[in-house]
Amino acid sequence: MDFGFSTLEARSIDFDKFDGRILRYVLQYEPSLLVCLSCGGCTATCSAGNLTDFNIRRLQLMLRRGEVENLQTEINKCMLCGKCLLVCPRGVNLRNVVMLIKKALVHFKNQEN
Amino acid sequence: MEFKDLFYYPFILGAIYLFGVVIWRFTKWFIGLSKIDKIRVRIGLFSKKTLKSIWESIREGLLHRNVFRNNKLLGYMHMSLAFGWFLLIVVGHFEASSYHGSMFFPFQHSVFFRYYVTDNVDFPGHVFFAYAMEILLFFVLSGVMLAYFKRFRSKAFGMKRTTRMRYGDRIGLTALWLIFPMRFLCETFTAGVYHNGSPIFNNIGDAFASLGNLEPWLNPLWLTYSIVLGVFFVALPYTRYMHIPAEINLIFLRNWGVTLKERRVNTYTLAQVYSCSRCGICIDACQLNLAGIKNSQSVYVLKNIRNKNLTDEVLFNCLICGKCQEACPVGIDVNKLRITQRIETTRQYNSSYDYLKTSEAKKTDIVYFAGCMTHLTPAIKKSMLQILDAAGENYWFMDENKAPCCGRPLMTAGQFDAAQKLIDTNTKMILDSGAKKLLVTCPICYKVFKEDYTLPNVEVVHHSEYILDLVKQGKITLKASDKNVVYHDPCELGRGSGIYDQPRELLSQSVTVKPIAHEREKALCCGGSLSNLKISMDERSVLSAQVMNEFASYNPDYVVTSCPLCKKTFAKTDILPVKDLAEVVVENLTPRS
Amino acid sequence: MNNIVIIGGGIAGVETACTLAESGNRVTIIERTGDIGGKLNRWYCLFPDFKKADEIKKYLKERIAKFDIELKLNSEVDKAERNGDQWYIYTGNVRYTADAVVIATGYELFDATRKEELGYKIYDNVITQGDLEDKFRAGDFKTTFGENPKRVAIVHCVGSRDEKCHNLYCSKVCCVTGVKQAIELSKFLPETQIFCYYMDLRMYDKHFEELYRTAQEHHNIQFIRGRVSEVSQTPDHRLAIKTEDTLSGRPMKMKLDMLVLLAGMDTKKHNKKVSELFDVEREESGFLKSKDFHIGAGILSQKGVFAAGCCISPMSIKETIENARSSAVQINQYLKTL
């Protein structure tokens, strides 16, 4: 998955450059994202992940780490099928998280323009 | 100028204003319809559909048959107000016509007839009219009394909740509540002075007169009555009472074939939104109440659309189970309306799914598409494959390893443009296989394949239909067992696709299906619906437990459903065993000799 | 001399009974099955030292034989009544009078069929850790194909830590059970590849961490951090699982010959019954509610009713024995106040 970095270059997560706008937006409406324990159940069963390079668990984790590059390209791969919802042991409402990320991206883009 | 030339102005001006606004709105709505819809209206205008609409307008707009069906007391309230008022106008007009000896006279003369006609003149039918008008007024007043009562004690109407009101609605409501008591006071006081009513009002008037001199009260009362009418008319377009003209308009448009099929927000949306009388029947039909969700029911969404303050939190907090649509006495297409709104709000962020590629299709007779959900219920998948094998069918398991989602979950979230790419990819695979039948074990897939895919010469079948067909053709035989079961109608299959009988007929081959309170059109949602993006897992659990507890009260051996999502949702409650139709069939399959 | 009725003849019940009998009480054990020992009877070896479960059983048998304890087997409590400080316990047509009652009803293995996506009782060769213990006892690991499995996966947290079955708690002992079983299996079948799929590995007690290290170092057990969320059958009737290797961040598929589900401890159903019988409070998790987490374990919300063992919290055998003895001390203190 392309998150704008390659494993060849050293690149650490810089918490001081944390871009938390989208994260805050998502959490405001879907706080259940907070309880994710990164078990990967969602990614394992993911219909889109079965067809392309798409890792929803990692994507939300990156969002929580303030890494939002390529978020738009990545999040658009989700087909909203809902399998993740049925396997999540923590009951994260992941479909809403996806829709909120999509919305937030447009929202902040419009704000910038 | 004298009082008599002036007092009716509030009424007349209000009425003119009201007609102006209503005609302007209707015109605007018509102009905003899509081209196809306009053609539909033009064709429909001079057809039987117009006559049908007139009858339906009388039946629903005046008699409120659908409200009656739902709740007799509520029906009477609506009917006495609407039909009673209508008769007051019509009979009042005839009364004044008879007095004037002509059908043409200033409008206020019929509305304020008892103000103008105070001398005891003898005109044809005057006794009949006097009685009729007074009895009609009592009829309307009984409805008003019920309305007062309902505001304070909605439970008496078999309703748990009543709609919340805004400021403008309060003005309209107060004016409406005052109209008929004012008219009653005007006419009885006048009768007390002039004895111009029937013996009923004359006696009541005399009773009032015994308390003091009524004459000074007359002009202020009639003026107030006129003002109250005027205020109501001016407020009407901005309150829920706009539903009175809008509903009639909707009945005609609907019968002429106007639909929301184009899935764009157009003025037909408004025509529907304004038709909502906020009777509150949809609130009671909604299961979300149980989970404490009390702001997203259809009536509120319609109100929010009208007031332009609809939020995603409200719009997406709906199971789209269709129970409220089933209950709506006005027949507003609330599911489509809501989805149309979802399309609108998510239009800016659709996906393109460029990664989708079609893989090679296998030539076959039957394509089996399990769907995303069925992959999480392997018992259904395994049973379906066993049945296909037992029947010796030539099939291809299309999504055994991978396939795009059917697209329905995207569509209910409003992402129609995105879903189209999935639909195109799957369509190509299905058509390439040359199959005559597309078999699905998931009602969500079923609905979208049936309604939104273009699959010429391919019959889309839900496994309940398909297996029943196998039994009828003798390809498989089932044995009877002594099990008693409860069958749960999945929303997308039942209300969504009208399939109620096939699953029951199939089940009756092997088990006894117990009738339950909420079945068929009245079936409850399992709580798992993907169409609700906002509901939390805990809230879902409340809904599923309620449904399962109802099932448990019938003491079945197990619950049968025909949707993998319902099955998984119910299984989570751990209240009763849950099986899919296909599993029941496999358990009772007799091996072929 | 006080009369005490203990419900459940598992490890907790027997150890509490013996400790109380030792201090001079007249004790009756009411046991549902035909033998004492409870879940122990199914187990073959125990973590962390691979002691045979039968040795613990032998200890219990010998210990109970030393005292005059009435053992009422194949019996269940039908009714319980309190009259002042006295309890009347009815089973069949017998009535026992008790000054104190101990609930020691233990746990059930989580019903793995509730996690349908894992294929238990749907696909062949999907088993639970309990079924695997049966295989250890029988010394036969053949799959339904009649061969020893070449690749086995052990799935942690089945029915524990899972909102989908309303069991939010951690069953605590499954992690180390999985590691123990992986090592044990590799001892029986050295050629077999064994994978443990976990969300978190909780090696909480002494020697557990070392056991984990041993599994890696000497038995080539592979630990993959990811939750298995889909099981299916391949055309050649092997099992296929889907998971994510979360540490490498990639979805992962694997074909298997055997899948072992580490089912959690579930007390919801039988604690519901027992809590209704004695009118004692339960937690949302289903475990009986102790008066205080720190200093009141086993003291329930009803006078004269105590609890020991897994009906109050997930416990290892060692902790169960400790807990049983400490409950006995609390009961003796209570009896002195009567």
All structural domains of chain B with their residue ranges: 63-238, 246-349, 366-470, 477-590
pLDDT value of position B156 = 64
Is residue C143 within 8 angstroms of chain A, CB to CB? no
Say if the Cβ atoms of C268 and B574 lie within 8 Å. yes
Chain A: partners with 3+ C-beta pairs within 8 Å? B, C
pLDDT value of position C177 = 98
Whether the pLDDT of residue B160 is over 80: the answer is no
Q: What is the spatial distance between Cα B513 and Cα A61, in angstroms, rounded to a whole number?
A: 48
Residue of B nearest to C239 (CA): B378
The ipTM assigned to this model is 0.94
Whether the pLDDT of residue B157 is over 90: the answer is no
Q: What is the spatial distance between Cα B297 and Cα B280, in angstroms, rounded to a whole number?
A: 9
In chain B, the percentage of residues whose pLDDT exceeds 70 is 97
Q: What is the pLDDT of residues C294-320, one digit of tens each?
A: 999 999 999 999 999 999 999 999 999
User: Which of C232, C241, C255, C259 to probe by mutation at the B interface, max B CB count within 10 Å?
Assistant: C232
- Which positions in chain C touch B379 (Cβ < 8 Å)? 116, 122
Which residue, chain included where needed, has tokens 């447009």?
Answer: A106
Which CATH number covers residue C209?
Answer: 3.50.50.60
Q: Are residues C125 and C258 in the same domain?
A: yes
- Which positions in chain C touch A91 (Cβ < 8 Å)? 163-164
- Report the CATH number of the B366-470 domain: 3.40.50.1860
Residue of A nearest to B355 (CA): A52
pLDDT value of position A13 = 80
Q: Which helix (H) or strand (E) holds B159?
A: none
- Which positions in chain B touch A29 (Cβ < 8 Å)? 312-313
pLDDT value of position B158 = 61
CA-CA-CA-CA torsion sign (B107, B111, B113, B115): negative
Within 10 Å of residue B454's Cβ, how many Cβ atoms?
9
Question: What is the assigned CATH class of domain B246-349?
Answer: mainly alpha
Q: Are residues C102 and C117 in the same domain?
A: no
Is residue C63 within 8 angstroms of chain A, CB to CB? no
Q: Are residues C37 and C132 in the same domain?
A: no
CB contact set of C56 (below 8 Å; sequence gap of 6+): C11, C40, C46, C317
pLDDT value of position B467 = 98
Minimal C-alpha gap between A113 and chain C (Å):
35
Of C164, C226, C242, the CB nearest to A89: C164
**Mean pLDDT computed over B278-284:** 90
Residue of B nearest to A76 (CA): B351
The letter for the amino acid at B37 is: D
Residue of C nearest to A83 (CA): C229
**Mean pLDDT computed over B355-370:** 92
Mean per-residue pLDDT over chain B, rounded: 93
Q: Are residues C277 and C219 in the same domain?
A: no
Within 10 Å of residue C105's Cβ, how many Cβ atoms?
27
Residue of B nearest to C110 (CA): B574
Minimal C-alpha gap between A12 and chain B (Å):
29
Residue of A nearest to C158 (CA): A89
pLDDT value of position B161 = 61
Q: Which two tokens mark B186?
A: 């005007």
CA angle C317, C319, C323 (to 5 degrees): 115
Interface of B with A (CB under 8 A): 312-313, 316, 346, 348-349, 351-353, 355-356, 372-373, 375-376, 401-402, 404-405, 407, 409-410, 413, 415, 422, 530, 533-538, 565, 568
Of A51, A76, A78, the CB nearest to B352: A76
Q: Are residues C239 and C284 in the same domain?
A: no
Domain extent at residue C78: 3-107+267-337
- Which positions in chain B touch C166 (Cβ < 8 Å)? 541, 572, 574
Q: Are residues C300 and C194 in the same domain?
A: no
Within 10 Å of residue C301's Cβ, how many Cβ atoms?
15
Of A45, A57, A90, the CB nearest to C163: A90
Each of the 113 residues of chain A gets a pLDDT tens digit; together they read 555 555 555 578 877 878 889 999 999 999 999 999 999 999 999 999 999 999 999 999 999 988 888 898 999 999 999 999 999 999 999 999 999 999 999 999 888 87
Instruction: Residue window 109-168, chain C: list those with CB within 8 Å of chain B.
Output: 114, 116-117, 119, 122-123, 163-166
Q: Which of the four pLDDT bands, split at 50, 70 and 90, describes residue B305?
A: very high
Say if the Cβ atoms of A1 and C249 lie within 8 Å. yes
Of C114, C163, C230, the CB nearest to B375: C230
Is residue A89 within 8 angstroms of chain C, CB to CB? yes
pLDDT value of position A66 = 85
**Mean pLDDT computed over B412-427:** 95
Chain B: partners with 3+ C-beta pairs within 8 Å? A, C
Whether the pLDDT of residue B556 is over 80: the answer is yes
Q: What is the spatial distance between Cα B113 and Cα B134, in angstroms, rounded to a whole number?
A: 12
Reference C152, options C250, C85, C219; nearest CA is C219
pTM, two decimal places: 0.91
Minimal C-alpha gap between C45 and chain B (Å):
32
Whether the pLDDT of residue B146 is over 70: the answer is yes
**Mean pLDDT computed over B498-502:** 97
User: Which of A47, A87, A111 to probe by mutation at the B interface, max B CB count within 10 Å?
Assistant: A47
Minimal C-alpha gap between A112 and chain C (Å):
32
User: Which of A32, A39, A57, A74 to probe by mutation at the C interface, max C CB count within 10 Å?
Assistant: A39
Chain C: partners with 3+ C-beta pairs within 8 Å? A, B
Say if the Cβ atoms of A86 and B349 lie within 8 Å. no
Q: Are residues C260 and C271 in the same domain?
A: no
Q: Are residues C296 and C330 in the same domain?
A: yes
pLDDT value of position C127 = 98
Q: Which of the four pLDDT bands, split at 50, 70 and 90, describes residue B264?
A: confident
Whether the pLDDT of residue B331 is over 60: the answer is yes
- Residue pairs between chains B and C whose CB atoms are closer than 8 Å: 37
Strand C100-103 with C305-307, pairing: parallel
CATH architecture of B477-590: 3-Layer(aba) Sandwich (3.40)
Reference A41, options C70, B99, C155, B196; nearest CA is C155
Q: Are residues C94 and C155 in the same domain?
A: no
CA angle B307, B311, B315 (to 5 degrees): 100
Residues in chain C where the model's pLDDT stays below 70 = none
pLDDT value of position B359 = 82
Q: Are residues C177 and C60 in the same domain?
A: no
pLDDT value of position B168 = 77
Task: Say how many domains are in chain C.
Answer: 2
Of B355, B405, B422, the CB nearest to A52: B355
Reference A100, options A22, A48, A46, A35; nearest CA is A22
CB contact set of A25 (below 8 Å; sequence gap of 6+): A100, A103, A104, A107, A108
Strand C239-245 with C108-109, pairing: unpaired
CB contact set of B113 (below 8 Å; sequence gap of 6+): B92, B95, B96, B99, B133
pLDDT value of position A57 = 96
Lowest average pLDDT, out of B164-173, B370-379, C140-149, goes to: B164-173
- Which positions in chain A touch B413 (Cβ < 8 Å)? 80, 95, 99
Is residue B536 within 8 angstroms of chain C, CB to CB? no
**Where in chain A are the domains?**
36-112
Which residue, chain included where needed, has tokens 């081209």?
Answer: B35
pLDDT value of position B103 = 87
Output phi, psi for C108, to 5 deg: -115, 150
Helix, strand, coil share of chain A (percent; to 5): 55, 0, 45
Q: What is the spatial distance between Cα A100 and Cα B8, in angstroms, rounded to a whole number?
A: 56
Note if the bond before B199 is cis, omega within 30 degrees: no
CA distance to B33, B124, B285, B581, C112, per residue, from B544 (Å): 41, 66, 16, 19, 20
Of A49, A86, A87, the CB nearest to C251: A49
Of C117, C163, C166, the CB nearest to B376: C117
Q: Which of the four pLDDT bands, split at 50, 70 and 90, describes residue B12?
A: very high
Minimal C-alpha gap between C168 and chain B (Å):
12
